[in-house]
Structures are given as C-alpha cells and as structure tokens.
Structure 1
Amino acid sequence: MTQTTTRPTAAVLDDLVAAQHDGTARGITSVCSSHPWVLEAALRQAADDDTVVLVEATSNQVDQHGGYTGMRPADFRDAVHSLADRCGLPRERVLLGGDHLGTNRWRSLPAAEAMAQARDLVAAYVRAGFTKIHLDCSYPCAGDPTPLTDELVSERAADLLAVAEATAAEVGATGALRYVIGTEVPVPGGADHALHDLVPTDADAARATLAAHRAAFDARGLADVWPQVMGLVVQPGVEFDALQVVDYRSDRTAALREVLVDEPGMVFEAHSTDYQTVEALTELVADHWAVLKVGPWLTFAMREALFALSEVERELVPADEQARLPEVLEQVMLDQPDHWRGYYDGDAAAQQLARRYSYSDRARYYWPDPRVEAAADALLANLRRHDVPLPLLSAHLPVQHARVRAGVLDADPLALVVDAVRDVLRGYATACGTAPSTATRETR
C-alpha cells in the first residue's frame, strides 16, 4: 500500500543523534501543545529559523476516541498541516510525534483491556503519519504490581512496538519510525504534588532499562528495530510544580551521561523542561539531553499575554462591552474543577491564585471550552476596534512594545500573543543551537 499522508523523513533525528555522538551540542525542541496559537508560534519560529519543527501530541490530548481536545491523530495532523500552510512552512518540515503512547489513559482498567486500547492508539498515530513514537507503558493498570518491573514495562513496550511496525508496513513506512523508550518517565504536564527533592535517574537503573527493552524486543523477533530507538527518557533532575521549579544541575548527572556511550543511535529525551533558564537548557543539550520537551510554559506565556491584553481592554473598552477573559476562565474552572482539583493545595484564596498564575498551568485544559474560546476571541476583536496607545502597550507588554516600536512586529493583538509565546521558543532555539530570528518582520 502507498503511504496515507506526507511523512517527514526521520533524517533530522538521525542527524541530531549523530551530531551528539560526534561531540556537537545540538538539540531539538519538542512542542507539546494542541492550542492553535501556540502551534502557530512554533511554526512561525521554525519558518523564520529555517528549521524543522517537532510537534508532539500526548495521549491525553489526542487519542483514537478524541482525547480531551476532541481530536484523533489524523485530525491533529490535519490541523497542524493547515496551520503550517498558513504560516508558510512546508509540510515536509513538520515532524509529528506521539507522546506517552501506552496505558496512561486507561490505567484504571485491567492490563489486558488497557493494552488493547494502547494498541489501537499506537496504530492510529502511525496511520496518521506520526514519525516519532514514545512507547510508554510505565503506568500501572488495575491489578498490576506496584511499582512495575522493568521487564513488564519492556514487554508491554515490545507489544506496542510490534503494532507500530506492522502498521508502518501497511502504510508503506517501513523503517520510517523513530522510537523513544524509558521506565522512569515523569508525569505528563508537571508534578501533581509539592516538590522537595528530585534525584536524577541512577546510571545502573538506566542501563537495566536498556537491557530489559533490548531483551523484550529480541523475544518478539524485533531485534532489527533496535537502531530505530533514538531516545531514552530518564530523569535529569528537572521538574516543576504549582509554585516552584527544580533547575538542572550538570554536576549531578555525570555518571548518568555515560550510559549512552555504547548506544551510538540514541540520545536522552528530557521531559518537563518548562521554566528552565536558557543556561540550564543549554547545559542539558550539551549533556546529551538532545530532545527538550516543553508544553505548559507555552500556554503559560500565552495566558500571561492574554491577561495583559485584558488589562489593556479595561482601559480602552466600556465596561459593558469588555470580554472579561480572566473572569470567564475562572468561572469555567470553578464549574469544571476536575482538571485542577488535586493539583492546588491551600485555602480558597491560594487555590484561586494558583488557578490564575501557577507554573502547573492547569488553565491550559480550559482554553478549548466554548465560553473561554468566545471570551478570548471577543478580547481580540475588542482591541482590534481600538487603537492601542503605545505607552499603554508598553505598560503591559513591554517586550512586544519594543518590537512594535522597532518595526519588526505588528500591533495586532493576536500577533502580540503569538510573539510572547515565541519568546519562550527563542530561548529553546538558543539552547538547541538553531539560529534565533532577530530582525524578521512578523506579520499576520
């Protein structure tokens, strides 16, 4: 059969791995978000930097049933490709990845049922043209022993690998997939409890994980697929919770960094790198964490920009015409608390503060809500009907104000929001060794 959709070559990942093993500190940013304004920021950044963009959908966001976004893998692919067309980025420079593909969504079910769902999930991602596949069976299912052993996690990963390879053969993509494995996988989206100490993965534990996966692949007759395994997820000692960030310390990972010396086809993948300094991100790339995953920081930056524009709206727009986005978002979060309850401690005042401002950014789950979406659109429409005085813009978005003054950024409110998200991505571009754009005129 012929391939069902445009699938970018995995050569960019192979080149990245080769560069790391040759001693060149190169990395790639993995954008883990489904919000169209965040995706637009990532696509425009890649277009200006003349690079490939890696966009990953998580099993929470996108699955064969729709996930919390309502999108299946093919829907997500089409949405990203449509945005890329609008941003002037060729589709062959869009690399799609599936993050935490495994039992996470169905861990309340018995393992047999959860794995049946996970097989369908992986097949759907591969059929939709996703190239980078994270096989993640690290979550215990109902009735499982806790913690799971490396052997059991690896056997389940091998099961999903067999499905991925069989599906790739069906769509004419044999050899095209690149896999990420690991048993010490951080919780998607940041810690759900206050952090006190975070210990990097033990080097011997990482070696045991590699050995267990290799043995499980061999047992399934998939030894020849091992060269397609390009990434190992380990904990480098970075994480964030609602109120704090644990920063990377290179001196704590010296032994761990030696684990992949004898694996020339692999690099480390770092999850939860949100809110790290550019210096810390640069150190991570230099220490062989070549894939830097970021998600909540991007919607956090988007929320900051939208809230800043809401303050501009209060100054310019009559009260009865204001969108009142922060208030609408707060009410929707109160009406539907499942996405933040259990993450934010303290009394009512502390929880309110966290809902609006926390690093965990549980607000990101509410942007697709029709009431929130309508308020965000109304905010932009209100500001487009008014000329925003530059001093007022400076008071609330000073960095974007400077770019507007310099003539490299339009004052359109959505352009301002997208640019604020790009400020996060510019830091990642610096850390990964791609040339950040500096003087390109950004328009809509």
Structure 2
Amino acid sequence: MELEPLAAENRAARRRALRALLAGPLRTAGADDEVLRLIRRHAAELREWLASETGWRLVVDADSARLFKTVATTSEATYPARDGKGRAPFGRRRYVLLCLALSVLEAADAQITLGRLAEGVLVAASDPELTAAGITFTLGRREERSDLVAVVRLLLSLGVLERVAGDEDAYLSDSGDALYDVHRRVLASMLTGTRGPSTIDAAAFEARLAELTAEPVPDTDDLRNRALRQRLTRRLLDEPVVYYDELADDERAYLVGQRHAITRRIEDATGLVTEMRAEGIAMVDPEDELTDVRMPEQRTDGHVTLLVAEYLAERASAGQPVPLGRLRAYVRQQAAEHSSYWRRGVSEPGADAELLATALDKLRALRLVADAPGELDEPSAVLARPAIARFALDAPTISDRQTHRLPGGAGRPATAPKNKGDRR
C-alpha cells in the first residue's frame, strides 16, 4: 500500500519535468537548477516517452538539459523569438544576426566582450553572399546596435552567455561595454536540425528549410504509422489547435481513428486536457503554463483582442471573411467607448490600425483566425476559425434582478484553446 503514494508522487514529478521541457526546451544550470535536477532524476523515463511518442531527442548532462524538437510544419510563422516579455519579436534581420553571433562565439575564447562580438559579426556580415542577398550590417546606428543587444539578451536567457561585468545599455549609448562567459556545451546544443546547414545545397529558402528538417521516409506500414503518430503528437503538443482540414489525407485518417489513444497518452504524460470538436482537437492547459501567448489578458491590448474575438465569433458560423476595414471601424468604436479605461492615444488617427494589428497577431498565433488573401496576396479580410466560438457571448440571463452576459457559456476554460509551446 505504501508504494501507491510513492508511484503517484513519481508520476507527478515526471509530469512536472516534461512540462518544464515543453515550456523551455533548453534548461541550464544557474537559473534552472531546481528544474534541471528534476529532469536529471527522471531523464531515462522522459527520454523513452519522448523518443516513442514524438521522435524528439533529449540530452541531459551536468550543466544542461536540451530537448531537440522537430517541428511538425515549417509553414507556421507565429513563433518568433523574443529577448524578453513584451519585447519586439525577432524578424529576418535579428535571426541573421543571431546566426552570425553564434558563428563568432563558436571560434571565440572562453570570455568575450560585446564590442568584440560586434566586431566579429561585422566581419562575418561582410560575406559576399550576404551582401548579394541584400543583408548588410554596419552597427553604426542605434537601431542596429539594438538588434545585436536583443540577440545577446536572448543568448543570456538561453544560458549560452553569462554576464560577468558591464551592461548592454552602456554599449547602446556608446559609454561602455559588457563582458560575458561563453558556455560551450550550451552553445553546441543550439542547432536542432537533422543535418548541418553547411551540407545543404538548395538555393531557395523553402527548399533549404525542407532539407534542414527532412526525416527518413518509412518503408514499412508499422514505421509509417509510427511516423504519423509522432507527427500528430508533435502538432498537438506544439500548436494551439489542430484542425482536420489542415492535415494531409493520411494524417487526418490516422488521427480520426487513433485520436482517443493519442490524446490519452498526452494527457497522462503532461496533464493537458483534450478538447475534441468536429473540426479538430485542442489540448488545453488548465495551469496556463505551457504558453507563450495568453488570452484573455488585462490592459488595453488584451481587452481589444478579446473584443475583436467576440466580434468575430458572432460571425464565425456564416463562414464569410470579415473585411479589415470593418474591423478597424469596430475597434474605433470600442476605443471611443472605452477611452477612459484604455491607454492614452487610442482615439487618435491611425491608432485603430495598430490596436487591430496587435489583436490579430495574437488571434493568428492561437489559430483562432486566418487571413483571407486579397489583391497582391495582401490580406484584406479575416476568416474566423471554429475554435473562436468559445469567445462568443451567450444571451443575457437574469439573476438576482441583475442582467449578466456570460462569455463563452458556462464551463468555458479561462485560457485560449491550447496554449502554444515554445519551439526553440
């Protein structure tokens, strides 16, 4: 009888360790000491489950734990890196700078200053192929130095670098420098592709990306089914919602037939809760931890996002795209109504476009809306996806002589359907 509580405790500990890896696939000593000890304690079981259900590789040593994830799809563009909460997302320029910085650090000494790193990046950026692609760096402007600082702060958060002295703000203002230790074990674990980028010969970006993430083609029915299960499990773990109409024919057929078995294994291992609908499946986190995009949120942007979601949810059943112009008009109307509660400037000309863009970025990331392409492939309208129905308003109900409007109906979870996982 005494073994049962112990077994339950071990299972809960393994679940916490797996959730920690899903939330942050790279855990390093120092800031993550407690989490790292937990992962090391259950490394064998975690490694076995991940290899079987996802095909992901887990490497654990004294200084770090690295979950080498393989993305289920390379077309998803709503997982940008950030160097801190609320910071601007990484774009093409910052990602190029990140790659250049990693190449400089690979050949650097055990310590490096931000100034020396900048010099190395400038040398690497002078490569004729980069110049021919229209990518140039001078780091002469504050904006360019800010991009490099964003890259350095991301590397600090990942444990690749550790600050010894100085401050990045001093470098930005040209009044000082910063010194870092370079953790080579962590640096070596940054790449997660199945093959080295230098071995790829394709010229087009999409082709290079496909080769970088390509996996062996199964040659037996058992191996094909295993590959299907692993791909679908990855998507259920990584994506807010998995819609049947976005899957290939073989994936859709397999998921429809095996959805209960697949989701049960995910629930047991992670504590996520399955939400099945006719259109697809979402894995919802009751703890609201396995996410980099939350909804609903407080403050102006959070309120705008929720209002836009409610507006679109009421029109989702029609299946018709809603023009961006109509959404902007709705946001202007709401800004005038809530101006005393929202931040300053929301009623100024052009503010509605910025508020709407922020809201739609979040709704796209949560797979609640999709763009309806217009002329020149520029989105001119937004199509509400089925999962947005949870944000529709029910009819008013009378209770204690007061009128209440219930968002989404009784039992609607507080979080959006399946919070996104970290894809680093």
TM-score (norm 1): 0.27
Larger radius of gyration: 2
- RCO higher in structure (CA 8 A, sep ≥6): 1
